[in-house]
Structure 1
Amino acid sequence: MPTLLSLPDDISIESALGESVLEAARRADVPIACACGGKAKCSTCRIWILDGADGCPERTALERTLVERLGLGNNVRLACQLRPASDITFRRLVLDETDLRMTSQLLPHRSTSAGELKSVVIFFSDVAGFTHFSETLTPYDVMYLLNRYFTQVAEVIELNDGYIDKFVGDGLMAIFGVNGQDDAPVRAVNAALQTLATVDRLKPFFASMYGIDFDIRVGLHLGEAVIGSVGSPGNERLTAIGDAVNVASRVEAANKEAGTRLLITETLYEQVKNEVEVSDFIRVRLRGTSDRISLYEIKKLKVEAERRLNEKGARETMQLGGKTWHRAVATSELKDGDHKVIEFQALYAVILRRGGRVYAFNNACPHLKLPFFETASRANGHAGRASTFGEDGTLVCRWHHSGFDLDTGEIVRWCEALNEDGTSAGMEMLGDISKNRAPLRLIPCREEDGYIWVGLD
């Protein structure tokens, strides 16, 4: 019979063959949480296998489904599904009611990661001389300056598959490799170099506006960190916890004494050394450590690496501003006054160019969810009436002549073609169909790299 040692309870349990850890724990009065009743519908019964993981059976199909959705680590198992055939030592990961509220995936609208040890690149940046700026400029100007800088840098990081962890004062922390991307190390370096280039383009503007010499310092480190969701239920945010975060922060700070702008640790350098050019390297003792380590000042990417990473138009999607942007249509294919209906997984989108601007909206009227325009595949044989665009910047629905403001989505006119009692001519048996007042669903769009992109959540 397998022996199960539960921590932090320090209780040893004799388990019968074929018995789940949850069943054995309950029999021994070990308080393992289980919000779903042992059906693998939540992860509140999860345990960390400290010893004996190699002898544990493979995950069940139910456990695999939940593990893949939540990103649980290899040594984290569901007590309701694990039926040990040999001795194990485990730690309960949900200890009390607070933990239960934090981890129950039975609650609505939850999207959390329980925490997994991963090899990631941590990116830290800081504004040089920020204390002086904050003391000499008005708070409004400081906020404007930082927001202009952060907005452009955030785009650079997300376009390189990085995840913005947090903004703290004038500091920024980002994570590369959250989803296990093989090229995360070189993409992190690419993002750092592009960030510095972005700052160089901002310098003349800030100099003319405020008379300041704006610059930043960046530190990168490749190491292991626990990646998971932190925050109160409903307000979680993905973050990294571990010594790798502290090291990256200290590497960024080392730039000040070294007189450099971008330093990376030796562990990261070993992964990218064939794809970068180095200006110099230094031996330093980072704050709070006793050993000296080597830090490398990166000058630029080698030509082939830069071409591969920054090739324009190669992607169908990109992450930016918390949205997934989908490449919709080439800019050259949409002349002024033209529109196209593009199919995406979640909806059909209408892309319109009008008066030099580009608009995008859901191809479904808010009234009866009927299409404003037919798709190309259905256009033949459906060439009857079509929705139109008014001179006042409105979209006029072809079905009941509702009008919507293309800038705001607001209702300008509502169901003008219905009868006074709200019925539709010839379809009176449907009754009053005028009640469903809803605005037009606008979709964010942008032009970049010769294409029009639409942003979907």
Structure 2
Amino acid sequence: MTCHVNFKGEKVVPVEEGQTLLQASLAAGIPHYHACGGKGQCTTCRVLVLEGEEQLTAPTIYERAIKNVKKFPDNVRLACQSFVKGESVVVHRLIRDETDRYIFIDSNEANTTTVMGERRKMALFFIDIRNFTPFIETNLPFDVIHIMRRIFALCRNAIARYDGEIIDTAGDGLYAVFGLNSKIRQAAESAVLAGLKILEDIKIFNNTYMRPYFNHTFEVGIGVHVGKVIVGNVGIGLSNNLTVMGYPVNIAARLQAATKELDNSFVISAIAYRLLKNPPYSVGCSYLNLKGVSNAYEVKLIGKPYEKKQAAAIQL
């Protein structure tokens, strides 16, 4: 039996028995976007059912799962999951204007997953350079930028060595992730190895370059956490546009900030620490009350106390 569906503002489309709305619209020449290939794994083919909702088959398990997350109203359906039982169905495609088409079709982004976004478990890594403000205040702009580039190069090389990806830099800190190409246990291991290498490389840099030429030394604070985050490409033309967002990212950033009050250069969540196959020695365990987190967060201290703080205490 052939039914007909009115794609409002576009055309009336014949739908053969066994065809989904998506298959029928594509067969009729409608450029109906379907990033996941019509498998119910995304929402880009969704339509608003204006009339005849009762003439469509019941939502599938894929639709119900997406509705639970997206909170779509009942009259929003995935075209790839909807079959037609009768006439008088009128729908409106929700992704159809030129801006949508650029983002989802005309973009040069080769990886569809990053355009759509996906949830995955990753290790989140934040690092901040300590003692940089005094250096800025007492040195020429050229020297400030030069040293910043040197330190960021140390960080970048260590992160890249362990298959990490720098997501963002801000002032004298940066944010990186591990796990784009590995499982979560390996990601956590890599984040820790990269952090330990940075600590060692900064120590060497201080001894061989900063002390002799600038009479100054730097220390860093590192925070690492793991969790399920959203990975995607926001497409605004900056760097590689990769964005990693979610609650675990905020936790990792706060762990890095807590290195000051804990007087330890490397703080890792106990959750991430337990994933490590060969965990480094922990000099202590602490419980942090983090802003926005109801329960105290258990962390491990795997770095060293700050020398500047120790020196100040000795002078007092």
TM-score range, shorter chain: 0.5 to 0.7
Shift of 1:52: 2.0
Match runs of 1:215-234 below 5 Å: 215-232=219-236
Q: Does 1:184 align with 2:187?
A: yes
What is the aligned counterpart of 1:52 among 61, 68, 74?
A: 61
Residues 327-376 of structure 1: CA distance to partner in whole angstroms, max 9, x if unpaired? Answer: xxxxxxxxxxxxxxxxxxxxxxxxxxxxxxxxxxxxxxxxxxxxxxxxxx
What is the aligned counterpart of 2:269 among 265, 268, 276?
A: 265
Shift of 1:281: 1.1
Shift of 1:37: 12
Residues 44-65 of structure 1: CA distance to partner in whole angstroms, max 9, x if unpaired? Answer: 93559x9722899xxxxxxxxx
* Residues 39 and 260 of structure 1, relative CA distance in 2, 3 Å threshold: closer
RMSD between aligned residues: 3.8
Residue matched to 1:159? 161
TM-score (normalised: structure 1): 0.48
Tell me if structure 2 keeps the 8 A contact 1:33–1:94.
Answer: no
Q: Give the distance between the partners of 1:210 and 1:234, measured in 2 at CA.
A: 33
Q: Give the distance between the partners of 1:84 and 1:272, measured in 2 at CA.
A: 48
| Higher normalized helix content (fraction of residues) | 2
Match runs of 1:142-291 below 5 Å: 142-181=144-183, 182-204=185-207, 205-232=209-236, 236-272=240-276, 274-291=278-295
Corresponding residue SS for 2:275: helix
Q: Give the distance between the partners of 2:238 and 2:45, measured in 1 at CA.
A: 20
Shift of 1:288: 3.7
Match runs of 1:418-457 below 5 Å: none
Tell me if structure 1 keeps the 8 A contact 2:132–2:172.
Answer: yes
Match runs of 1:25-424 below 5 Å: 34=32, 45-46=44-45, 52-53=61-62, 81-82=80-81, 94=95, 96-104=97-105, 106-108=106-108, 110-111=110-111, 113=114, 114-181=116-183, 182-204=185-207, 205-232=209-236, 236-272=240-276, 274-298=278-302
Residues 106-162 of structure 1: CA distance to partner in whole angstroms, max 9, x if unpaired? Answer: 444655512110100000000112222222222211111110011122111111011
Q: Give the distance between the partners of 2:153 and 2:238, measured in 1 at CA.
A: 25
* Letter aligned with residue 268 of structure 1: A
Tell me if structure 2 keeps the 8 A contact 1:46–1:94.
Answer: yes
* Letter aligned with residue 168 of structure 2: K
Shift of 1:163: 1.0
The size of the alignment, in residue pairs, is 250
Gaps of 5+ in 2: 1-14, 48-58, 66-76, 85-92, 305-316
Shift of 1:208: 2.2
Q: Give the distance between the partners of 1:100 and 1:119, measured in 2 at CA.
A: 29
Tell me if structure 2 keeps the 8 A contact 1:119–1:224.
Answer: yes
Shift of 1:264: 0.4
Q: Percent identity, please.
A: 29
Q: Give the distance between the partners of 1:177 and 1:166, measured in 2 at CA.
A: 16
Corresponding residue SS for 2:283: strand
Residue matched to 1:418? none
Q: Give the distance between the partners of 2:36 and 2:206, measured in 1 at CA.
A: 59
